[in-house]
Structure 1
Amino acid sequence: MISTKTPRQDKKQSVKHLRTTDARAVVQLATAATHNVTRIVEGVHQSIWSTLGAPAGKTKEQTRGVTGFVFKSIHGITQLLGTAADQALTRIESLLPTDVIEAANSPQREAVLAALNGVMGDRLEESKNPFATQMALHYQGEILDAHSMTKITSHSSKVVVLIHGLCMNDLQWTTLYSDALTAHGYTPIFLRYNTGLHISQNGALLSQQLETLVQNWPVTLSDLTLLTHSLGGLVSRSAVAQAQHQNSNWTHALKRLIFLGTPHHGAPLERAGSWVDVVLGATPYSAPFKKLGQLRSAGITDLRYGFLTEQDWQGHDRFRRRPDRRTPTPLPIGVACYAIAASMASKRSPLSDRLIGDGLVPLKSALGQHDDKALDLNIPKSHQHIFYKTNHMALLNSPEVMQILLQWMNTARE
């Protein structure tokens, strides 16, 4: 079908997704990209010269002499221009009305930002880029904080917090789940967060958010459920482990942890990514391009084995291949834990379980099963369910999944 929109209408549609702070964010990204590309080019250049016996600069990837001066000048000019543009745009923003800067969000904009945060959210946060997503609870489209919670009139003592996965956001949960939960007396609240941060960092932030929720909810919150998808399940487990260690109050209200396609023991795609780093680093000519693979976020590299604690990654090169030596983190005692796994195959088999799974997460990883007893989550069979001919994303919008969830949630805690 041919579009009847005029160029002016198309432009308006595009502009509505933009904010004033986006210009500054793009400048910061462009500056970082120029630095990274320049480093790769210099690395390739030096790799070629090194085969001819030419000495390197300060590091084996840097050139020296006139060539080194040229690359150093590029970095200097790039940083100078980037800083000047950033400062100028910051001054312009300060002169604009708040309602211009904080334009209404759109699902399309939030989807792009969610993907960007998933891929490089740690770098966005480190550089204070405006594109970095800040963790927040959302209720009926509005951010929940200690003040706004007291004004909620339509509430329940039973709350379900829905936690999304990598490169996603709260708007990508369909209304199917929230409508069904509301109809059964639960208040659905959605978490939005930067999935590119370390899982343990997001776990600590989530624990703080849930503590605020429990302390400021209009009525005593007696029944808290965390309904999680993919990476969100690992973040919730990290939050619970840290909260129990700190004896946080919110854990006393926690009744259920529900995992939808959570890679409890990691995901093959990240392990494949680490092999790409090894292959690219095998020759001096391809080694500089290893930096491209190493742009992936801390949230992604934590998925290699499912790192939940700070000890799992602190003090280690997260891009270097090493054995699975993560800290065993069992499921919390006294909390009913459930796991839903999906398989794109029509029936269970060793090959489909290990290699296919739901397209992203192997079946055993989603069910928390592991050959090492210290890492096996021991989720009871009655608390597991497998959906066949189903992919990872389908778990977000499935009447059949919702039916199983309601069965579990309406069952008294064991």
Structure 2
Amino acid sequence: MRVDAVSGDRDNGRMTTPSSPRPARALLADWRHHLHLSDVRGLAQLATQGTLGITELVERVQGNVYKAVAAPFGAAGQKFVDRAAGTSGVRKKGITGLVYGSVKGVTRLAGGTVDALLSRVAPRAEPPASSPQREALLSALNGVLGDQLLDTANPLAITMSVRHDGRSLPMDKVELAQRLPRATGKILLLVHGLCMNDLQWRADSPADVLPGHGQDYGEGLAKELGYTPVYLHYNTGLHTSVNGGQLAALLELLLQVWPQEVETLSLLTHSMGGLVARSACHSATAQGMHWPSRLRHLVFLGTPHHGAPLEKVGSWVDTVLGSKPLTRPFAKIGQVRSAGITDLRHGHVLPADWQGTDRFAGGTDTRQPLPLPSGVACFAVAATLAELPAAATTGRRLDAALGDGLVPLSSALGQHGEPARCLDFPADRQWVVAATGHIALLHSLPVYQQLRRWLT
């Protein structure tokens, strides 16, 4: 395993604060140029659901207060509390219950009216071309609420597709040849991570451009190694294994319609994208699909193979809030987060890892061990915010490092205390880059140079 110290990459990808904040009205006016009518409809649905959720939260808090006050008075106190299972505790026939019921009724009526109007207008309007700002908004919403968006048929929900230049590619051999006239037999699929999208592989500032190599890893590898880069776009709020199954089927179709005979398929993944790729390999092998026989390289950039601490903190907060009657309703706020996020607690990749369990419940890691796909050259890139010297290669020094701010080094390298769960990356296929954050892994010249060596 190699460790490189890189200076100046730590701040890449961070949000900068303008010196003079713009008025909120001006910012809202800007968004009118980016949102489609279908987006407005989806946001209106979220606003309705959010208002209902807040109302129910306040009602449950008040109901729990009623229960706490009524408890010392025994049977006499219980007359003032709704004790039916699943209720908030506020009596529906009382004045308080009438107020809450009225608020929810008016919200549903107003939300339904707006949705009905927009559903009629949106299909008639030709949507403008999408923008990076809109794509970033949609990908963030899908990362946090993607499973709920899908379950409620919200138009904001992203459908998985393979894209190029920000546009979905047709799964038809003739049309695909027209869209990719220079396609080669070497496919490079880039798979983004949680709350992100395919456009974010591309540098959006001069500081992130790869000098002499293009705007992103895909463009550089196309010029130097003859790959044809395409980019996965998907709803990161779904279970990792759900996305893995969809990716497996999509790759099978992609190889069937590819304009050239496919010699090599390589997957370059970032963060959650690596878990999705591992799940896809398992799903494809189990179903006897053909594309795994073309898979030559699988590269992981900052993938939380054994989980990410931030999701574990979220689970702990849920447990603490849920342990007390008065704070229990507030645990529902944390439980808004998507299935994709909760899968990151331990690094779920298989359906059996989450099926039949409460995904918000704490507990030990019960995943089924899943080794790296056989016959594929697998590579792991991990990053640390620490300024490690190039000679620092001992495990003890690495364990003391900070990780990339989201994923610990051990998780990114597939290391685990239980031997059965360790991922077998050979020493020459592991690489640690220093002074680099999680997002900076997408636009790092040293990382690109390492990728070029591995994918030659």
Same fold (TM over 0.5): yes
Q: Which runs of 5 or more residues in structure 1 are unaligned?
A: none
Structure 2 partner of 1:308: 349
Instruction: Note if contact 2:266-2:298 (Cα within 8 Å) is conserved in structure 1.
Output: yes
Paired position in structure 2 for 1:138: 163
**C-alpha distance in 1 between matches for 2:97 and 2:402:** 48
Counterpart in the other structure of 1:374: 420
The structure-2 alpha-carbon separation of the partners of 1:245 and 1:354, relative to structure 1 and needing over 3 Å to count, comes to farther
Once the two structures are TM-superposed, the CA of residue 57 in structure 1 deviates from its matched residue by 4.2
Q: Which residue of 2 aligns with 1:117?
A: 142
Q: Say yes or no: does 1:90 pair with 2:119.
A: yes
CA contact (8 A) 2:309 2:345 kept: yes
Q: Residues 250 and 290 (structure 1 numbering): CA distance in 2 closer, same or farther, change over 3 Å?
A: same
Instruction: Find 2:103's aligned residue among 74, 93, 101.
Output: 74
Match of 2:255 in 1: 214
Question: In the alignment, which of 406, 409, 414 is matched to residue 363 of structure 1?
Answer: 409
Q: Residue deviations 1:205-242, cap 9 Å, x none? A: 11121111101001111100000000000000001100
Q: Which residue of 1 aligns with 2:292?
A: 251
User: How does 1:259-298 map onto structure 2 within 5 Å?
Assistant: 259-298=300-339
Question: How much identity, in percent, do the aligned residues show?
Answer: 46
Gapped runs of 5+ residues in structure 2? Answer: 1-17, 71-77, 203-214
Amino acid of the structure 1 residue aligned with 2:242? Q
Q: Alpha-carbon deviation of 1:60?
A: 5.4
1:407 aligns with 2:453: yes
Q: Specify whether residues 402 and 42 from structure 1 end up closer, same or farther in structure 2 by C-alpha distance, changes over 3 A only.
A: same
8 Å CA contact retained: 1:354, 1:362:
no
CA RMSD of superposed structures (Å): 2.2
The answer to whether the 8 A contact 1:280-1:286 is kept is yes
Whether the aligned pair in 2 keeps the contact of 1:62 and 1:68 (CA below 8 Å) is no
TM-superposed deviation, 1:316 = 1.1
Using CA pairs under 8 Å that are at least 6 residues apart, name the structure with larger relative contact order, 1 or 2: 2
**Cα distance per residue 1:159-204 (max 9 Å; x no partner):** 1000000111111102231221111200010111111111011111
Do the aligned partners of 2:386 and 2:401 also contact (CA within 8 Å) in 1? no
Where 1:224 maps in the other structure, the secondary structure is strand
**2:184 is the counterpart of 1:156:** yes
Q: Distance in 2 between matches of 1:171 and 1:358?
A: 22
On the 8 A contact 1:19/1:103 being kept in 2, the answer is yes
Q: Higher mean Cα deviation, 321-330 or 46-55?
A: 46-55
Q: Distance in 1 between matches of 2:89 and 2:104?
A: 12
Residue type of the alignment partner of 1:406? R
- Distance in 1 between the 2:184 and 2:233 partners? 21
Aligned-partner Cα distance in 2 for 1:277–1:208: 35
Per the alignment, residue 15 of structure 1 pairs with 32
Does the C-alpha gap of structure 1 residues 247 and 401 become closer, same or farther in structure 2, counting only changes over 3 Å?
A: same
Q: Per the alignment, do residues 286 and 10 of structure 1 end up closer, same or farther by CA in structure 2, a change over 3 Å counting?
A: closer
Instruction: Give the letter for the 2:131 counterpart.
Output: S
Aligned partner of residue 311 in structure 1, secondary structure: helix
- In the aligned structure 2, how far is the partner of 1:117 from the partner of 1:8? 25
1:63 aligned onto 2:90: yes
Taking a change above 3 Å as real, the CA distance of residues 192 and 239 of structure 1, as seen in their structure-2 partners, is same
Change in CA separation of 1:303 and 1:10 when aligned onto 2, cut-off 3 Å: closer
1:356-391, Cα deviation, whole Å (9 max, x unpaired): 211100001000111212211111111100011111
CA 1:7/1:235 → structure 2, altered by over 3 Å: closer, same or farther? closer
Pair 1:7–1:242, CA change in 2 (3 A):
closer
Name the amino acid aligned to 1:256: H
